[in-house]
Amino acid sequence: MKRSEKLDKRDLHTVGIYEISIFKMAGQLAKTLIHEKKYDKDEILSIFENIVKTPDDFLENDIFGELAKIIKEKHVQIIATKQEKKGFELKEETPEYAIYGKENIDEGAIKQMDVAMRLPITLAGALMPDAHYGYGLPIGGVLATEGDKIIPYAVGVDIACRMCMSIFPMEYSYVQKRTKKFINLLEKNTLFGTGKGFSIQNSDDVFDRPEWSATKIIRELKSKAQFQIGTSGTGNHFVEWGTLTILADNNEFNLPKGEYVALLSHSGSRGFGATIAGHYSKLAMEKTKLPDAAKHLAWLDMNTEEGQEYWIGMNLAGEYASANHHQIHKKMAIDLEMEPLKIIENHHNFAWKEKLADGTEVLTHRKGATPANAGEWGIIPGSMTAPGFLVKGKGNAQSLLSASHGAGRVMSRSQAFKQIKKSDLQKMLADNGVSLIGGDLDEAPNAYKNIREVMNFQSDLVEVIGEFYPKIVRMADKENAPKWKKKKGNDLDFTES
Residue 295 burial class via C-beta count within 10 angstroms: exposed 0-12, middle 13-18, buried 19 and up: middle
Q: Which fold has domain 129-480?
A: tRNA-splicing ligase RtcB (3.90.1860)
Q: Give residue-wise pLDDT tens across range 157-173.
A: 999 999 999 999 998 99
Q: Are 273 and 160 in contact (CB under 8 A)?
A: yes
Is residue 76 helix, strand or coil? helix
Look at residue 1 and tell me whether its pLDDT is greater than 50. no
* pLDDT score for 77: 63
* pLDDT score for 87: 78
Look at residue 481 and tell me whether its pLDDT is greater than 50. no
* pLDDT score for 5: 67
Q: Where are the domains of the chain?
A: 3-86, 129-480
pTM summary value: 0.81
| Beta partners for residue 390, in sequence order | 379, 466
Of 198-202, 300-304, 461-465, 469-473, the range with the lowest mean pLDDT is 198-202
DSSP H helical ranges for 262-385: 270-287, 305-336
Look at residue 286 and tell me whether its pLDDT is greater than 90. yes
DSSP H helical ranges for 202-244: 216-228
- 446's CB contacts (< 8 A; 6+ apart) are 410, 411, 420, 424, 428
Average pLDDT, the chain: 91
